Amino acid sequence: MAKGMMRLEAGEVVTTLDHLHARISERFPASGLSRVCARLTATARETARRARRLSRPYLALRLPVAAIVLAALALPTWLIVRTDWLAGLRGADVLHAAEGLEPAVNLALLSAGAVWFLLSLEARWKRARVHKALHELRSFAHVVDMHQLTKDPTLVLGPRTASSPAREMSRFELARYLDYCAEMLALTAKLAALYAGENDDPAILAAVNDIETLTSDLGRKIWQKIMILGQLDEAKA
């Protein structure tokens, strides 16, 4: 990484989520949102550990892979060196020489394919683990969205119907609840960004961008509700 380049610190994200969980628990004790934030905070700590591990080389995998790669390269080389090409040419037996060359070429091609597979094994392994972790963060975003889904600002106005959600919050509490949801979505995107900061795999970067887009879209809906609440307060004043 270039000297002086800014980077997202996992510890700061975890600390922010700890504070957010404390704020939610104090304002809405024993609420479902508080439990979700507690789980997200625990996931944040695990995310910080995973991101650090993924930034390091897997020596336990690289050493045996290196040995296999060297063997795969050495075997066709040894076969080519051991073949007496001059004897075949002196005997003008071109067909025999070609038959001797074919196994060496085939082995070289197979060895090249095996080398490519083994060299990309670590990257594919890391990619699979990151995609699994990102799927978990995507699920958190949808769970947070479900918690704010029925928190409609218009519930503080007008008559209720039999199927209307219960009015258990004041305007202020509803605004705080929605604000907490927006913060959780933003921090979920930051957790996904930790993986992008430790890996330049295009597939991982694309998956992280998808989560950032998802949380941004969901957060935009929440801020629209908060703005409506603000307009209601201004109208009342």
pLDDT per residue over 147-174, tens digit each? 998 887 776 655 666 666 666 788 888 9
Residue 87, both tokens: 């004897």
> 108 vs 181, which has greater pLDDT?
181
For 28, 71, 184, 194, 225, the CA distances from 40, given in Å and listed in that order, are 17, 46, 8, 14, 23
Residue 234 has pLDDT above 90, yes or no: no
Contact 120, 69 (CB under 8 A): no
Q: Which residues contact 170 (CB under 8 A, 6 or more apart)?
A: 156
Q: Which of 3-17, 49-63, 120-134 has the lowest mean pLDDT?
A: 49-63
- pLDDT of 60 reads 66
Amino acid identity of 60? A
Reported as a single tens digit per residue, the pLDDT across 112-151 is 666 677 667 778 888 888 999 999 999 999 999 999 988 8
Cα separation, 13 vs 189, whole angstroms: 10
Kindly report the average pLDDT of the chain as a whole number.
Answer: 80
- pLDDT of 37 reads 96
Angle between helices 121-149 and 32-54 (to 10 degrees): 170
Please report, for the chain, the start and end positions of each structural domain, with discontinuous segments joined by +: 10-57+122-158+166-236, 59-119
DSSP secondary structure letters along 151-215: --GGGGSS---TTSPP--S-HHHHHHHHHHHHHHHHHHHHHHHHHHHH---HHHHHHHHHHHHHH
Q: How confident is the model at residue 1 (pLDDT cuts 50, 70, 90)?
A: very low
Residue for token digits 């085939």? 106
If you average pLDDT over residues 23-28, what whole number do you get? Answer: 95
Residue 74 has pLDDT above 90, yes or no: no
> 209 vs 82, which has greater pLDDT?
209
